[in-house]
Amino acid sequence: MRRALMEGRCCVPAVGSVIAGVASCLPFVVVDADGREVEPVSAYLRDLVLGDVSPLTCRSYGFGLLRWHRLLWLLEISWEKATEADVAVLVGWLREARNPQRVRRRNGSSAPPGSVNLKTGKPSLREGYAPATINHNLTVVSGFYAFHGRFGAGPVLNPVPVSRERRQVLAHRSPLEAAPVFRRGRLRQKVPAQAPRSIPDQLWDKLSAVMGCDRDRALLEFYVSSGARASELLGVCLDDIDWPGQLIYVVSKGTRIRQPVPASPNAFRYLGRYLAAVGLPTQWPARLARPRRCCEAADVLGDAARSAESQRQARHELDLARRPTHGRDQDGRRRPAHPRRSTDNLAACASGHYRPIPHCTGGGLARQAPGALHPASASAADVRCRL
C-alpha cells in the first residue's frame, strides 16, 4: 500500500472535510467521514487563533491536516504513533497525485499543464501539487506535532525531519548580511527562485484597449501602480479615496490597519469616468468593485443616448430643409426657426423633466407642466394654442 501510494498507483479516499465553525475561537473545524470533530486538530487550530492568525490561515492549516489524517485513516495508524516513514509516504503521494483544484474544463485554446506562455513568460500550473504546497503541508504537520509535544502527547520525536544546519544559520543572523545558503531539510522540495516578470508597453496598451469598461481599467491601474493585494482593492469604498492627494486607503492583510497607498493618476482618471457614467451608488458603504452588469447597463444607456441624439439631429436637418429659415421671438428679434438641440436638453429629456413637443419654440424641447396634456394625445388645435 505504501509503495503504491508513492508511485501513484493508488489514491487516498477523499473522506472528511473542513467546515465552518460556530465559535469565533475556532472559525474552521476538521471532521471525519462520520461528521465527528477531530479533537487534536481543533486544539491546534484553537491555539493558532489565540496567536492572532487570520481565519484564512486557520482554514489553510485545516486542509493540510485533513490530507495528513486521510492518509493515516487509510493506513490505519493513529496520529500519536506516526513516524517519519509515514511522512515520507505523504510526500510521495503528493508528488504523484493530481490536485483536485487543477481539474477544470479545457478547450482547444487552453495551454497544456506545465507549459510556459512565450508572450508573457507565465508558467501554467501543472496537474499535481506544487513544491511550495508540499513544503507547506510539511510545515503544518510539524507544527501540529510540536504543539502536542509540549503537553506530552503524540510521538516522542517529531515525525517531520528538520534541517539542523538551517536552524544554526538562522539563529544569529543580521539582516545586513547576505542571505545564507544551506541545505534543505529531508523531504523538503526544491522551490526555484523566479525573477519578477514584466509586461512590455505594447502589451499593456493592448490589454487596456480590450477592456470594455472603465471600472476594469481603474482596477487594473490601481492593482499595478499601488502594489496592493486584490483582496485589499476589492474592499475599497468611496470614502477610502483621497482625490486631491492621489491616495487610496486599504486595510492591510498583515497589520489589519487602514493605511494610505499612492496610485497612478490614470487610475483616478478611469475611476472618475466610471462614476460619471454610472453615477454614485445609493447604498453606503459603497464598494468600487460593483457588479459588472452596472457598467454594461451604463454602456447600453450611453449607446442608446448617442443613437437617439443622432436620430434627432437627422430629423432636425430635415426640418431645416422644409421650414422657413428665420422667425421672430417675443422681443421681435430675428431667430432661427429651429435652433440646434443641445446635449443638456437631451439629458433633461431623458430624466423626465422635459418632453419633446412638435414645432415648439426654443429648440424643440419644452418643459411640460404637471397635469398638462401630452402632445401625443392632444389635438392639433391644442398644440397650436400652446404655441
Q: Would you state the pLDDT for residue 381? A: 38
Q: Would you state the pLDDT for residue 298? A: 41
- 77-100 pLDDT, tens digit each: 999 999 999 999 999 999 998 888
Whether the model clears a pTM of 0.75, i.e. scores above it, the answer is no
The structural architecture, per CATH, of the domain 201-290 is Orthogonal Bundle (1.10)
Q: Per-residue confidence at 227, pLDDT binned at 50, 70, 90?
A: confident
Q: What is the DSSP string of 11-57?
A: ------EEEEEEETTEEEEEE-TTS-B-HHHHHHHHHHHHTT--HHH
Question: Among 171, 168, 166, 170, which residue's Cα sits nearest to residue 188?
Answer: 166
- pLDDT over threshold 80, residue 102: no
Q: What is the mean pLDDT of residues 172-194?
A: 80
Q: Would you state the pLDDT for residue 310? A: 56
Q: Would you state the pLDDT for residue 378? A: 38
Q: What is the mean pLDDT of residues 239-262?
A: 87
Question: Which regions of the chain carry the CATH code 1.10.443.10?
Answer: 201-290
Q: Would you state the pLDDT for residue 74? A: 94
Q: What is the mean pLDDT of residues 358-384?
A: 36
Q: Would you state the pLDDT for residue 313? A: 59
d(CA 296, CA 213): 8
DSSP three-state, residue 311: helix
d(CA 272, CA 109): 36
Higher pLDDT, 311 or 94: 94
CA distances from 102 to 89, 128, 134 (A): 22, 8, 15
Lowest mean pLDDT among 76-85, 132-141, 149-158, 312-321: 312-321
Under 8 Å between Cβ of 12 and 74: yes
d(CA 31, CA 37): 4
Q: Would you state the pLDDT for residue 67? A: 95
Provide the grid cell at 126. Answer: 501543472
Q: What percent of the chain has pLDDT over 70?
A: 69
CB-CB neighbours of 365 under 10 Å = 20
Under 8 Å between Cβ of 290 and 296: no
Q: Would you state the pLDDT for residue 150? A: 92
Higher pLDDT, 267 or 163: 267
Question: Among 277, 287, 278, 170, which residue's Cα sits nearest to residue 237?
Answer: 287
